[in-house]
A and B are shown apart, each in its own frame.
Chain A
Amino acid sequence: MSQGYPIKIYSEPDLSQSSLVLGWSEDAGNLGRKVTDYLNRKLKGQKFAEIELEDFFPLGGVTIEGNLAQFPESKFYACQELELVVFQSNPPGTEWYKFLNSILDVAEQHCQVKELYIIGAMVSFSAHTSPRQLFTVVNSAEIKEALNQYDLVGDMNYQTPAGERPTLNSFLLWIAKRRNIPGVSLWVPIPFYLSATEDPQAQKKVLSFLSERLRLEIDFSDIDQEIREQNEQLAQARSLYPEIDDYINRLESNLMLSEKENGELIKKIEEFLRESA
């Protein structure tokens, strides 16, 4: 790399005008990870590069999730025929600017990336029966116009509230803008009681857009099946536990639950889905 960034290239992908889809692990509903895993699995993405960890992650040990030791990953995959690059990573703990530039270095210098799509989830206090919307934030008026034909909510106004910081997605979108790479940050609201598990409806919302926009022609019958199964499980939970049904009914009527009720609903749904699995 021109600036000595810590990147390992295993093979040079044959790409001429590709799009980069990026998903972070550890977001709500595990959305970034699920969507990028799905793309790699369905489109046979081949790993070709990774960012070395030591500059960006605290490597004092391992975390344990779901009984398994976890270790950070930052890997690039290529689906050459479809001119698609997928980057899947844990969010870095430090040296964000250097890390985000490393991603775009690989994208530009090894993949001729022309557009960037960043996947993001946001926790929503709505019911799972509400249709998922796909919000977008872009880094240029030109790409905004190019997205007009899709079913997107692209008129968001937002300013970071006091005491909070912008997301890593905004940081990346801004760097991409400085490098003249058109970029789109995609945001799907995920019902809060599914944020610690997963939300196949949200996954499909993002994947459907990407499939249409990038002409991936994905057959979604498998994810449709997952959506049906989760809906059945949640319907069963509602019929077995009146308090779950009451909470979700109130959310469906646009009523807010108390903090305690939110906590109870999360706990009961997570327990039920875990036992059902």
Chain B
Amino acid sequence: MGISLCKEPNLENPILVASWPGIGNIGIIAVDTLRGMLGAEEFGEIEPWDFFYPRRVLIKNGILEYLEFPSSKFYFKRAAGKDIIFFIAEEQPTEGSRIYAEGKKAYHMANLVINVAEKFKCRKIYTSGAAVSLIHHTMKPRVWAVPNSERLIQEIRRYENAVLMSDIEGRGKQGNITGLNGLLLGVAKKRGFEAICLMGEIPVYLQGLPLSYPKASKSVLEVLTRSLKIEVNLDKLDELDQRVQRRIEEFYQQIPLAIREQLDRLRHVVYDKPVGPGPITEEEKKKIVDDVEKFFKKRGEGE
């Protein structure tokens, strides 16, 4: 169980950007889009067989030719005068029936990623994922940013459209980050690496749908590229977002009118400064969440 490198690039204090699937695939779409646009080159992987059950077998003429596992690969690229390592995993290692990484395997994988960061003397690590929020799907998602070091707080305050936990209404500087995103941030801290997790907001009523949410991936990518001082063209992400938004609208119209009217009120929320037909109280927010949960529960039972 370990890391297999097919080449050892000569990198100068690179930045490590890591991602894997999660709610709305927000992080992985953002990071993989950037990797693709920069044309980063694969240089290694975490050997998968101890972490994952295989996902495809190929048998030809009675001979087992190939067994395919979810991949967890490293890529590198020099862009805008800085070296970047990408770590992109196709699945999170899970135990039992859990969806997101937890337990010994996840901890081990997080440590293997940090081993690579250590080997190449990375100076900073970014992870990315989703922040489930009371927002409407027509709004531009913010990016919740969580650093693992006090020193990074001022840096995050300079990011446009990014917020710290203390800036999020009702959070009181607190929260938690599940899965590998949180674990990697913690393991990085334990081993002396500065790291920031960037989480794009996704509407609470979309979190359970099998849809990606590229609108939030774009927000994450905007923050990430500005932080890295890299310019990229995000038109492809916009196109993907437009296609997904059409499907979201179709789904939205199937939500019962009474609940939809509640959700429509979220269109008028400008984060902690509600405008329009009237402020949404905490009690009303709770009712919206309860109604949405009940709707999905009923829908799930019906199916």
Residues of A within 8 A of B (CB): 58, 93-94, 96-98, 136-141, 144, 154-160, 165-167, 170-171, 173-175, 177, 185
Bound CA–CA A56/B56 (angstroms)? 22
Q: With a CB–CB cut-off of 8 A, which chain A residues contact B56? A: 159-160, 166
Q: Which of these binds chain A: B61-69, B109-117, B140-148, B242-250?
A: B61-69
Q: Mark B69-102, 1 if CB is under 8 A from A, else 0.
A: 0000000000000000000000000011000000
A-B contact pairs, 25 of them (CB 8 A): A94-B95, A96-B53, A97-B50, A137-B59, A137-B62, A137-B63, A137-B64, A141-B63, A155-B61, A157-B59, A157-B61, A158-B57, A158-B58, A158-B59, A159-B57, A159-B59, A160-B55, A166-B54, A170-B54, A170-B67, A171-B53, A174-B54, A174-B67, A175-B49, A177-B64
Query: Which B165-221 residues sit within 8 Å CB-CB of chain A?
Result: none
Q: Which residue of B lies closest to A141 (CB)?
A: B63
Assess whether A171 is in contact with B64, with CB atoms less than 8 Å apart.
no
CA distance A141 to B209 in the complex (A): 45
**Does B64 lie within 8 Å of A174, measured CB to CB?**
yes
Considering the complex, give the chain A residue whose CB is closest to the CB of B1: A97
A138 lies within 8 A of B62 (CB): yes
Total interface residues on B, CB under 8 Å, equals 17
Number of A-B contacts (CB under 8 A): 67
B53 touches A165 (CB 8 A): yes
Min CB–CB distance B70 → chain A (angstroms)? 11
- Residues of B21-70 at the interface with A, using a CB-CB cut-off of 8 Å, are 49-50, 53-64, 67
Cβ contact of A144, chosen from B55, B58, B62, cutoff 8 A: B62
A93 to B53: give the CA distance in the assembly, Å: 11
Contacts of A171 in B (CB 8 A): 53-54, 67
Task: Give the CA-CA distance A166 to B49 in the complex, in Å.
Answer: 13
Measured in the bound complex, the distance between the Cα atoms of B54 and A148 in whole Å is 29
CB distance from A154 to the nearest CB of B (A): 4
List B contacts of A98 (CB < 8 A): 50
CB < 8 Å neighbour of A159 from B50, B58, B63: B58
Contacts of B54 in A (CB 8 A): 165-166, 170-171, 174
Minimum CB–CB distance for A169 against chain B, Å: 10
B67 touches A165 (CB 8 A): no
Contact assessment for A166 and B63 in the assembled complex, using a CB-CB cutoff below 8 Å:
no
Q: Specify the main secondary structure of chain A where it touches its partner.
A: mixed
Find out whether the CB atom of B57 lies under 8 angstroms from the CB atom of A160. Answer: yes
CA distance A157 to B61 in the complex (A): 5
User: How far, in whole Å, are A170 and B67 apart by their CA atoms in the complex?
Assistant: 8
> Within 8 Å CB of A165, what residues of B?
53-55
Closest A residue by C-beta to B61: A155
Q: A144 CA to B60 CA in the complex, in Å? A: 12
Cα distance A159–B58 in the bound complex, in angstroms: 5
A1–chain B nearest beta-carbon distance, Å? 15
B61, A94: Cβ atoms under 8 Å? no
A170 to B58, CA, bound (A): 10
Chain B residues, Cβ within 8 Å of A160: 55-58
State in angstroms the CA–CA spacing of A173 and B66 once bound together: 11
Task: Specify which chain B residues have a CB less than 8 angstroms from the CB of A157 in the assembled complex.
Answer: 59-61
| Cβ–Cβ contact A144 & B67, under 8 A | no
A contact residues around B49 at 8 Å (CB)? 97, 175
A144 contacts B63, C-beta separation under 8 Å: yes
Q: Is the CB of A138 within 8 A of B57?
A: no
A158: chain B residues within 8 A (beta carbon): 57-59
